[in-house]
Structure 1
Amino acid sequence: MELMLKLLNGGAGTLASYLAAHVLLCLLPAFFIAGAMAALIPKASITRWLGRNTPAYVSYPAAALAGSLIAVCSCTIVPLFAGIYRKGAGIGPA
């Protein structure tokens, strides 16, 4: 029983340190990048290149190019997606 409690305690500590590092190194920068994008990129640029009415042959390559410049993990892409989507990008390119 003592061994089981020791293992659970060690696992919980490791999980807590992983989550703290993940939040500091991934989520926090993603929120700052999303905020900077929302503040600095004009809505007209977003709708021109990634908009809902932009042809797919324009918007998808533009989204792929922009996505290749910002390499983040899947959980940090959510704030970036939300910022671009609110600016008027279509669901696919966003």
Structure 2
Amino acid sequence: MALIAAMTVMAILIAGYVPHLARQIQREREEELLFRGQQIVEAIAQYVQMTGRYPSSLEELVRGFVIQTPRGTRRVRFLRPSALIDPMTNDEWKVVRPGDPVLRR
């Protein structure tokens, strides 16, 4: 009988903790979303500063380009590949332009 009572109490405590855990996971994903968004903003700014133009795609920020230095050539990259994954959907970012129907939802 005591075992059943203990298990019932544990089940109630766990059931009360699940919503808190879900909110915590959501908060962490939102923080990561903001962090990755800021990484993309900074990468675009650095790219524009170095090239004088905007990248044609986000992948261009990951690929970067080769530059000549006094010590030889080196590849300049502006963004890590992981920054291209939306932490809310675990899918690649989608480019949204003004007038896009997704903005009207």
TM-score grouping bracket, smaller chain normalisation? 0.3 to 0.5
More strand per residue: 2
Larger helix proportion of the pair: 1
With structure 1 as the length reference, what TM-score do the two structures score? 0.42
Per the normalisation by structure 2, the TM-score is 0.39
